[in-house]
Amino acid sequence: MKALAGCLIVFFSLFLQTLLAQQKQSPNVPPTLYGSVSSDTTAGAPISLSITDAIDRALRYNLGLILSEQDTRVSTAARVRALSELLPKISGTISESVQQINLAAFGFTGFQGGPAIVGPFSVFDARLRYTHTVFDFRFLHELRSASERVTASNYSQQDIRELVVLITTDLYLESLAGGSRVEAARSQLKTSQAVYDRAVNLKETGVVPGIDVLRAQVQLQGQQQRLIAAENELAKQKLNLARAIGLPQAQEFTQSNQFVTDPLNIPPLEQTLSTALDSRPDYRRAMTLIRSAEESRKAATGRRLPSLRLDADYGALGTNPTFAHGTMLVQGTLLIPIYTGERARAEILESESLLEQRKAEASNLRDQIEYQIRTANLDIQAAADQVRVAQAARDLAQQQLTQAQDRFAAGVVNGLEVTQAQEAVAGADENYISSLFGLNVAEVALGRAIGSAEKTVKSFFGGK
């Protein structure tokens, strides 16, 4: 029963990890960040993959980052479109027409001796036209608003980059934890095999009853199931990592980094928060969107203000190109809006609503950043303590197992004590792996909260 309970605990733990991994793909994290565009071919032999290599690959091939680059191009195109409203426009036309007119149809009758039908005659016109909105408050502020949106899009791309680093590191650490669980399961299986072999030998010599052999065999099979489940979970975790960084699914790889056991020094909260507000791309994007909304409101107000337009043309006009003469026109127009059908008022209301929304989003994001920093600090402190306790507990559990095996071999106790000691070792190993995983994830989360995930990860794991 103890072995069965231990096996169920392991299966539930693996199921819970899978569920948590699925929940990470929340609405706040675009699913595209877990995909990639692979451009490499599969190498024949397994490759060594460090966490720095994984991040560098993800920054080249991750689908979310590639799509964000295209979004930036779209924002740039919108700015160019807004700029075009203020730039001069020059066009050229060449036309020639042949007409015959019935003057009577227009009321011209009774001419003395004059014909009622005029023509046919031809008109040739070759002309350059120039139009320029010299000044328009609405177009000017729309251009400034579009420029701020381009800046916001660039910040958004930088934020996506931070998220890619965070997700890649998290997937890499999950695979490390999976590999550690596989190694622990193999070690526990080796111990269970040794206990079973000794139980068989002791039964043959009459030292222990047959129930101890059955108990050891159940424990051995339970460890075999744990190993199978852990290996399967590790294989899926590696596939998830490969999908995010653009590595071909068939490519075998080994992870060259290991968990870091010592936490970094945690700077003071005020310093960390100040650094985050200066460097977090999502917060800078939120502030940029506020400025964009302010410009949009000014653009809506500008619809009520006068605008100045210049039109000019020059060309040759005549019956044909040979008998054409130069003609020109220069016209300046001052447009003074008097009544726009409440359109300006509607746009002002809409832009004011958007501005208040952007301000609320930025305020909420600031509080969220402080929350993320505080929780990351708490997680680092708690995880560091858990690592120390889990390490001591694992050593004690191993000593307990050794003593239980010696007592069992001496015939002092039955196999139940050995089984309990084996389950204690399995639990201690799992606690140690989970605490190491939690410490490393918390360090990366703090780097993300500050706005320097890539730098933090590469520094934390010994990268450049």
* Helices 415-450 and 453-460, axial angle in degrees (round to 10): 140
- In a domain? residue 275: yes
Determine the pLDDT at residue 295.
95
Determine the pLDDT at residue 176.
94
375/303 Cα distance (integer angstroms): 48
Task: Report the predicted TM-score, pTM, of the whole model to 2 decimal places.
Answer: 0.81
Total of domains in the chain: 1
Determine the pLDDT at residue 14.
43
**Residue numbers of the domain that contains 256:** 139-304+342-460
- In a domain? residue 91: no
Mean pLDDT by 10 residues, the chain (464 residues): 43 42 50 80 82 92 90 93 93 92 77 74 93 92 94 94 93 94 92 88 83 88 93 95 90 91 82 90 95 94 92 92 90 91 89 95 95 92 92 92 85 81 90 93 92 88 64
18/178 Cα distance (integer angstroms): 11
- In a domain? residue 71: no
Determine the pLDDT at residue 28.
61
- In a domain? residue 354: yes
> What would you measure as the largest C-alpha separation in the chain, in angstroms?
146
88/131 Cα distance (integer angstroms): 6
Tell me the two tokens of residue 387.
């690592």
Tell me the two tokens of residue 370.
């402080």
Determine the pLDDT at residue 26.
44
Determine the pLDDT at residue 463.
54
- In a domain? residue 392: yes
Tell me the two tokens of residue 172.
């890499």
First CA to last CA distance, the chain: 51
- In a domain? residue 418: yes
CB-based contact 282:160 (threshold 8 Å): no
- In a domain? residue 214: yes
248: CATH = 1.20.1600.10
Cα–Cα distances in angstroms (integers) from residue 280 to residues 28, 52, 274, 434, in the given order: 16, 21, 10, 29
- What single string gives the DSSP state of each residue in 308-355? EEEEEEEEEEESSSTTEEEEEEEEEEEE--S--TTHHHHHHHHHHHHH
Determine the pLDDT at residue 103.
80
435/379 Cα distance (integer angstroms): 10
- In a domain? residue 317: no
